[in-house]
């Protein structure tokens, strides 16, 4: 069972100098056509995340590894994927990777594609209870496989004394290695963003079609 991680006070650099450190950032995906209120909240959230990460870097050392959900490639290809799945946060993450950090291929492509395919099946509103149960079990198994893969990737790449950051949705069930110190990044705007996501402003109705029918004079 994943241990609940609470907000920590400003860390002392010496206390964690020999530890493997992971900054855990809740990730949110809002469609580009979402209402302005949601877009503004997300923009403010990422601005505060950036400030928090910079403060943690000053206390605990520069981020050496970046892990991001859905991203299963590194280098330029991985950065391209990142810009697609997280357009709001990608600019800041790109700055990290242009400094001291490396964007890691956190995920396994086959598991990501499998979980997405099962998710598509579930959104179809399946008529058969048996098929729906099979799809749900397949989705849960693939998703847990993704979480296990991310945990192993972090364990394999994060070295003693290094700092890293993981961007992932709050519903994750990753079991982090016991020797990794996890710092949960929770800026002030997090609660407001979560409240909006739980009850977003309705999308505006599309304009009525223009009647092009002409009348005889």
Per-residue pLDDT of the chain (217 residues; tens, 9 = 90+): 333 334 445 666 678 888 999 999 999 988 888 899 999 999 999 999 999 999 999 999 999 999 999 999 999 999 999 999 999 999 999 999 998 899 999 999 999 999 999 999 999 888 999 999 999 999 999 999 999 999 999 999 999 999 999 999 998 999 999 999 999 999 999 999 999 998 875 545 445 554 444 445 4
Q: What is the pLDDT of residue 201?
A: 59
- What 3-state DSSP class applies to 182? strand
In angstroms, rounded to a whole number, what is the distance separating the alpha carbons of residues 169 and 19? 24
DSSP 6: P
Q: Is the dihedral of CA 192, 197, 198, 202 positive or negative?
A: positive
Instruction: For residues 120 and 118, give the distance between their C-alpha atoms in angstroms, rounded to a whole number.
Output: 5
Read off φ and ψ for residue 189, nearest 5 degrees. -75, -5
d(CA 53, CA 169): 17
Q: What is the pTM of this model?
A: 0.85
17 φ, ψ (degrees, to nearest 5): -60, -30
H helices present in the chain, as ranges = 36-60, 75-85, 90-98, 109-123, 129-157, 189-198
Q: How far is CA 97 from CA 66, 114, 148, in A?
A: 8, 28, 24
**Across-strand partners of 182?**
22
């Amino acid at each position: 069972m994943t241990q609940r991680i609470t907000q920590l006070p400003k860390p002392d650099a010496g206390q964690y100098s020999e530890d493997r450190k992971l900054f855990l950032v809740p990730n949110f995906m809002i469609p580009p056509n979402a209402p302005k209120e949601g877009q503004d909240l997300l923009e403010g959230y990422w601005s505060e995340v950036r400030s928090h990460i910079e403060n943690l870097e000053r206390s605990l050392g520069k981020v050496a590894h970046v892990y991001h959900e859905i991203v299963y490639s590194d280098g330029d290809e991985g950065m391209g994927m990142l810009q697609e799945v997280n357009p709001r946060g990608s600019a800041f993450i790109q700055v990290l990777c242009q400094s001291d950090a490396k964007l890691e291929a956190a995920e396994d492509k086959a598991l990501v594609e499998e979980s997405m395919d099962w998710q598509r099946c579930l959104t179809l509103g399946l008529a058969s209870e048996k098929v729906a149960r099979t799809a749900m079990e397949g989705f849960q198994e693939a998703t847990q496989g993704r979480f296990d893969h991310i945990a192993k990737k972090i364990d394999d790449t994060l070295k003693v004394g290094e700092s890293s950051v993981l961007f992932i949705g709050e519903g994750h069930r990753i079991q982090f290695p016991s020797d990794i110190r996890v710092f949960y990044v929770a800026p002030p705007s997090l609660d407001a963003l979560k409240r909006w996501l739980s009850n977003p402003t309705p999308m505006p109705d599309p304009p009525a079609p223009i009647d092009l029918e002409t009348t005889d004079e």
